[in-house]
Structure formats: C-alpha cells, structure tokens
Structure 1
Amino acid sequence: MTKKPVAELLFSETDAVPISTDPATVKPWDLARACVESVPRAWLSSVRPDSGPHAVPLMPVWADDVPCFASRPGSRKSRNLARDPRCVLTATDGTLDLVVEGEAVRVTDEDGIRRVLDAFKAKYGWELSVRDGSAFADDLPGSPEYGLYRIVPTRAFGYGADGATATRWRFEEE
C-alpha cells in the first residue's frame, strides 16, 4: 500500500528558530525525487545487531515514487536490514538536503524488480539480469547477486540550500 506525502513546515512560529515559518516555503515531494535522481551517491544508515548505527554510501535510484537501492545479500547493510528494516537515507544536491526515514523493503515482484532495474540502467547505465527474484551483475566476475530495496518512507525532511527553509513530509494512507 502506498502512502501519500503530505508536506508541512518543520517549525512553527512558536519554535523561535531562525528557520522560515512561511507556508509558501514548503517544498513539494518532487524536490525529493529530483534530489535522489540527480545525486551519484547518497548515504544509508541502518541498525547493527548491537543497536549501533551503520552508515554506508550507495547509488540511489527513484522508482515507484520512493528511493531505491541495490545491496549484496551478504553485506553488512543487507544483514542489518534483514534483522531490522528501519533506515535513513540522506542526500544533498545543492538545492535540497534530504533526509528520508523509513523501512527498507526487499523488492521481489517481477514488475517491481524491472522498474528498479530500469531506473539503474537509465541513471547509471548499469544493466543487471534477473534470476530467482534477485538481480545479477553478469558483467562482473562471478556474476554477483544484488537484492533490490525500496525505502518506504515514514517521514522525510528537506532543508533548503539557503539554510532558512525546512519541510517535513508525513506519509498518510491513500
């Protein structure tokens, strides 16, 4: 089930912060999409088994109206997400500093896999093949396997490059 992003000011006039409280500065979710689509790398933070943080750079793509990524099944991030899917993706494109909090969900349906792989091909020229619900880089030695993930946002934040504007996106059932 998809959730609709609802944009709102992050701060109110009573917060007494140097961030704009003008509703006209609320940013649309399309700016989050533009940020993810334009950056070559973003950072993903997940939760280690000892509850400590784990942060790693990755190549994000946008598919199904959310950020997506690929990860080797044996990697620390994949093992973390299998145990606890909570994660945070951060990216900046010079216009927006983006923070997306949510859960990483493995993409296993054939249509979803194809959409994510199409996004990787369009953005990075990276062509992966599909076998048994996973993606494989057949052009690399050993044809390594990659799981594909989409981040289902629970909330997100966008901070303007001006340092004076901030938007919070809540996600509501459609």
Structure 2
Amino acid sequence: MTVSTPAATLLFGEEDATPFSTDPATLKPWDRARACLAAAPRVWFTTVRPDGRPHTAPVLLVWADGAPCLTSRPGSRKSVNLTGNAHCVLSASDDDLDLVVEGVAAQVGDDTGIRRVADAFEEKYGWEFTVREGTVTGDARPGSPEYAFYRITPTRAFGYGADGLTATRWRFDGR
C-alpha cells in the first residue's frame, strides 16, 4: 500500500489575523515532509485512550510499502489504545520543518508486509526481528518479546517552517 500524494494548501488565508505567509510559493511539497519523517531518529506518537485522554510516546519509525510504520508490544498502552481507536498523530521535527501528521493506524498482518517492515527496521536501526507465521518477536532481546507492526495512513498533515512564517496543510483524499 502506497500513501497517495496529498493536495497542498496554505494553512492560513489573507483574512486570518496571523503572521503566516499567504504566498503559495512557500508551500512545502509532501516529499519534504516525508523526508522529515523518514530521517527522524524517533518521532512522537499520540494515540487515544479508551476514556478519550491522549497518550504520547517516542517511537522508532520506518517507511515500508510507501507508508510510515512503527512497532509496539501487543499489551502496551499504544497497542491497547489502537485496538479501541485507530486514530493517531505522528510528530517530528528537523532543522527547517516542524511536522504533525494525523492518521489511522492498522496492524500489519500479512507475512509479506510484516517481513518488509522488519527489514526496514533492520536497515534503519539495526534492529532484527524474527518473523514466523504472522508472529513478530525480538529474539535478540531478553525473553524474546512479541511485537506488532502498525502502518499509518495519513489523513491530514501540517508543516511549519523554521522561519515561523510559513505553514502548509496537506490533505489526503480530500479530508
């Protein structure tokens, strides 16, 4: 599954009493936002608890099959939250972009997809997983803990330039 290329629009219009740029030439392309996420050593991941409160934690993020992917232990707060509400937010930053990506998480369940995510983790972080019949374990870790992989499908994203004056909104599939 590949994430579609979103439409980029200015976050603020002329009528807004803000200091943000309204010049379409300042729009950042989605490739720039994708690069920010892909290069980040870790990102902030926010899920929704059953009682509606947010939960945020730093996570490692990789790109596989054209989408951001992360891992979580099945019994962790992140995984439990995603079981009840798949809506989530990824946040990352680099020298010239602060990025917030809203999306929907889905557990990667097919062996081929799981293997590609595992390979991406090994390539980026040197973290090896063992994949057997849909089960992912970290055999190099004490107790060989089980993990789940999640693929995030972005629905909307916001990028803010380091200059404090530029902002881009990306909408996926008209959302």
TM-score band by shorter chain is: over 0.9
The answer on whether the counterparts of 1:33 and 1:66 sit within 8 Å (CA) in structure 2 is no
Name structure 2 gaps, 5 residues minimum.
none
- Once the 2 structures are TM-superposed, how far is the Cα of residue 38 of structure 1 from its aligned partner? 1.5
Q: Secondary structure of 1:123's match?
A: helix
Partner of 2:81: 80
Question: TM-score when scaled to structure 2?
Answer: 0.93
Partner amino acid, structure 1, of 2:11: L
- Once the 2 structures are TM-superposed, how far is the Cα of residue 129 of structure 1 from its aligned partner? 1.3
The answer on whether the counterparts of 1:104 and 1:149 sit within 8 Å (CA) in structure 2 is yes
Distance of 1:95 and 1:62 partners within structure 2: 21
Q: Using a 3 Å threshold, how does the CA distance of structure 1 residues 134 and 28 change in structure 2: closer, same or farther?
A: farther
* 74-83 or 9-18: bigger deviation: 9-18
Distance of 1:57 and 1:138 partners within structure 2: 22
- Alpha-carbon RMSD: 1.5
Partner of 1:98: 99
The answer on whether the counterparts of 2:111 and 2:133 sit within 8 Å (CA) in structure 1 is no
Q: Secondary structure of 1:16's match?
A: coil
Question: TM-score when scaled to structure 1?
Answer: 0.93
Q: Using a 3 Å threshold, how does the CA distance of structure 1 residues 54 and 149 change in structure 2: closer, same or farther?
A: same
The answer on whether the counterparts of 1:37 and 1:123 sit within 8 Å (CA) in structure 2 is no
**Cα deviations across residues 130-173 of structure 1 (Å, max 9, x unaligned)?**
12323211101111111000111110111111111111111128
**Residue-pair matches, total:** 173
Runs of 4+ in 1 over 6 A off after TM superposition: none
Partner amino acid, structure 2, of 1:131: R
User: How is 1:139-150 mapped onto 2 (pairs within 5 angstroms)?
Assistant: 139-150=140-151
- Once the 2 structures are TM-superposed, how far is the Cα of residue 3 of structure 1 from its aligned partner? 3.5
User: How is 1:32-111 mapped onto 2 (pairs within 5 angstroms)?
Assistant: 32-111=33-112
Partner of 1:125: 126
Partner amino acid, structure 2, of 1:127: E
Q: Secondary structure of 1:19's match?
A: coil
The answer on whether the counterparts of 1:46 and 1:80 sit within 8 Å (CA) in structure 2 is yes
Q: Secondary structure of 1:172's match?
A: coil
The answer on whether the counterparts of 1:33 and 1:65 sit within 8 Å (CA) in structure 2 is no
Percent identical across equivalent pairs? 63
Name structure 1 gaps, 5 residues minimum.
none
